[in-house]
A and B are shown apart, each in its own frame.
Chain A
Amino acid sequence: MTKKGSDTIIERFRSITENPQEYAKSLQGKGHLLAGYMCTHVPEEILYAAGIVPVRILSSHVSQAMTRSYIHETYCSFSHDCAYQGLAHHYDFLDLIVTSSSCIHMGEAFNVWVRFAGFQGKSFLIPYPHIIETKPAATFMVESFGEFKRFLETFVKKSITEDDLERAIKVYNHTRRLLKRLWEILKRENPPITGPEVATVTLASQMMDKQECNSLIEQLIQRLEAQPGKGPSGVRLMVTGGACDDLGMFDLIEHLNDNASLIFIDSCTATRYFWFEVPEGRPDKLQAIAEGYISRIPCPAKDNVPGTGEKKRFRFIQQFIEEFKPDGVVFLYQRFCSPQPMDVVALKPTLDKLGIPSTELELDTTLPITQFRTQLEALVEIIKGVTP
């Protein structure tokens, strides 16, 4: 690749997010088997060790009503849009689809693919704990992952060795470390990359062959280290919430009337995807994978620590607030999501105590740009009013 700066590389990532099927087919063209996954609780390492490239299924971004005769209206747009991908045959070329039992809306999107979109014989549902912070959950995960591994061995007609798993773990951990480094650049006052650009890279990574992804991110970071900042940060805004694969939302945050900078996103389409590591070099690889996935920033659908009833995600959020120093927080989640608002009501008092103003935006397939802009600009006004 010729040295044209970081923008070229970011464009490559953006192009993948805009043409995910094209990219996935190119992988198939190189001889890869492909597995679509709908939830980041799927242990991708096991797929990768089997020689299958996991590609995340995200929204179609098409405003359509077709899925309303398959799934109830009051399920989130994201689940409807992902279901639509299957019904519209956008991913018929996939060799397999996989999900882990998690939120019910996404479970139903998966069911639509299996029942009505032709994936009955090429699908796997991984039973995954809903209460994570327990010893029994860890044991159960290992057993469940073991069943998944055996299924894949039958599927690909070869054994998945411990070495295969260790290699996959290392590749994925490398991705995680690289992405973390990228996000940490946003801690700076004058970073050479914007939040929306980092979000683009992260989103693309979920659909990519990780070795290729790692190589690109390494090149990107190298270029960024040599580049000047893009300008001083404006009002620093952090997003926390659910899946948002509409990059236009993040562009909007950085194109308000007042200068605002997106400096962190806590969601499964951003940092929750990778902000952990799987222990390397362990004798029991599935155990290691389980341990790693348990240590993730919890999804609100699975966040309840037995005994205290604590929401463990809040510890992470406070840590991110300390490290990334947002001036304000944007709660961003899908309309009709059930676990997210339950967290919002509990998190707001914490933000109040930290003196951090917030606003809430509900996502749909289409973005009501003007309304969102108004709310975001109001938040920025409030921040400018309260910040000394």
Chain B
Amino acid sequence: MNNGKILAGLDAGHVNSKAIIMRGQEILGYGNVPTGFDVVAGAETALKNALENAGVARGELAGIVATGIFRDMIKVPPLNVRRTVPDYVADAKGALFLNKNSRTVIDIGGNIHKAVHYDQNGNLLDVIQNDKCADGLGIFYTTMAKTLGVSEQELSELALQSTKHVSVAIHCAASAESEAIDLMCQGVDIADVTDAISRFIAERVAAMCTTMPLEKEIVVAGGLAKSKALMKHLPGLLKQDVSVLNLPEYVGAVGAAMSYEGGK
């Protein structure tokens, strides 16, 4: 589709900005940085890192397509984004590219999570997005890791060692965080608390997903897809098999790059 052109896809998210460099069907390189408060600078840094990773000079790029929550904000120079696409459109195209058999992608992002249903050409069929109380699952996960003094990967590894089922409040991340700390103060094993945190996220995502039919194959994207602890719970809650995409946090960026020539 892209005729050998080198393209960049940018996904300007709430928490992280991701960039990917592609030529045709080949991924040349990628970069992921915290968005911070300067959205444009975050996107610029992500792009720079991705170009370095790909060994491609800026001038070699034929164009940049942006997606993500801040896509419209990063259209400005120096990025000079060629076009923007909504995140669910990018997700559909990116997921299909990464897994040709997929028809539903569940994207668990920093602030928003959604399930996108698409056809064999990546055309949008339906989307469900989280309700307001379920905002911020990714941010919650990151915050809990910091609060517990571990990395996100360590949080997942600890959760996998859990031997006892405990629960945190389910209404929202604020309540969940408060109760997780409460449980720690009561001396509950950190492994069990981290499992409760992981399960909280999986439950909120699964509950949203059941609102629309999930056509197979179902794949998972977003930064949180890398959490093995979370992925341990999700299939059981959905009562469906799911698989994690390669480069799950770059699905949006890939889809953006795939959208260079247009088409919804």
Contacts and interface: CB of A to CB of B under 8 A. Distances in A.
Assess A/B contact in the complex (Cβ within 8 A): yes
Interface of A: 62-69, 73-74, 77, 335, 364-366, 368-371
Contacts, number: 64
B131 A368 contact: no
Interface in B203-230: 203-204, 206-208, 210-211
B133 A73 contact: yes
Interface residues of B, number: 25
Given A65-B203, A65-B204, A69-B211, A369 B182 contact: yes
Contacts of A65: 134, 170, 200, 203-204, 206-207
Residue among B171, B178, B179, B203 with most chain A CB within 10 A: B171
Contacts of A368: 169, 178-179, 182
Contact of A73 (B171, B182, B237): B171
A337 to B, nearest CB: 13
A68 B182 contact: no
A365 B131 CA distance: 19
Interface string B175-193: 1001100100110000000
A364 B174 CA distance: 13
Interface string B155-185: 0000000000001111110010011001001
A188 to B, nearest CB: 33
A67 B182 contact: no
Nearest to A368: B182
25 contacts: A63-B167, A63-B169, A63-B200, A63-B203, A64-B203, A65-B203, A65-B207, A66-B207, A68-B133, A68-B134, A68-B208, A69-B208, A69-B210, A69-B211, A73-B172, A74-B133, A364-B170, A365-B167, A365-B170, A366-B167, A366-B168, A366-B179, A369-B186, A370-B185, A371-B182
Contacts of A63: 167-170, 200, 203
A374 to B, nearest CB: 10
Given A63-B170, A73-B134, A73-B171, 7 more contacts: A64-B170, A65-B134, A65-B200, A65-B203, A365-B167, A368-B179, A370-B182
B172 to A, nearest CB: 8
A124 B72 CA distance: 53
Given A68-B134, A73-B133, A371-B178, A366 B169 contact: yes
A53 to B, nearest CB: 31
A28 B210 CA distance: 33
Given A64-B203, A66-B206, A364-B175, A73 B169 contact: no
B169 A68 contact: no
A105 to B, nearest CB: 14
B237 to A, nearest CB: 8
Nearest to A74: B133
B167 A62 contact: yes
Nearest to B211: A69
Interface in B15-37: none
Contacts of B131: 68, 73
Nearest to A68: B207
B207 A335 contact: no
Given A69-B210, A69-B211, A364 B182 contact: no
A interface SS class:
loop
B203 A66 contact: yes
Interface in B121-173: 131-134, 167-172
Residue among A66, A67, A335 with most chain B CB within 10 A: A66
Contacts of A364: 169-171, 175
Contacts of A66: 203, 206-207, 210, 237
A64 to B, nearest CB: 6
A73 B204 CA distance: 11
B207 A69 contact: yes
Nearest to B184: A370
A77 to B, nearest CB: 7
A77 B207 contact: no
A365 B203 CA distance: 14
Contacts of B200: 63, 65
Nearest to B205: A65
Given A63-B168, A77-B171, A335-B171, A68 B204 contact: yes
Nearest to B175: A364
A125 B84 CA distance: 52
Residue among B134, B210, B237 with most chain A CB within 10 A: B210
A65 B132 CA distance: 14
Interface string B228-242: 000000000100000
A144 B167 CA distance: 42
Residue among A63, A67, A73, A77 with most chain B CB within 10 A: A63
A63 B210 CA distance: 17
A74 B172 CA distance: 10
B169 A365 contact: yes
B45 to A, nearest CB: 35
B118 to A, nearest CB: 21
Nearest to A66: B207
A343 to B, nearest CB: 22
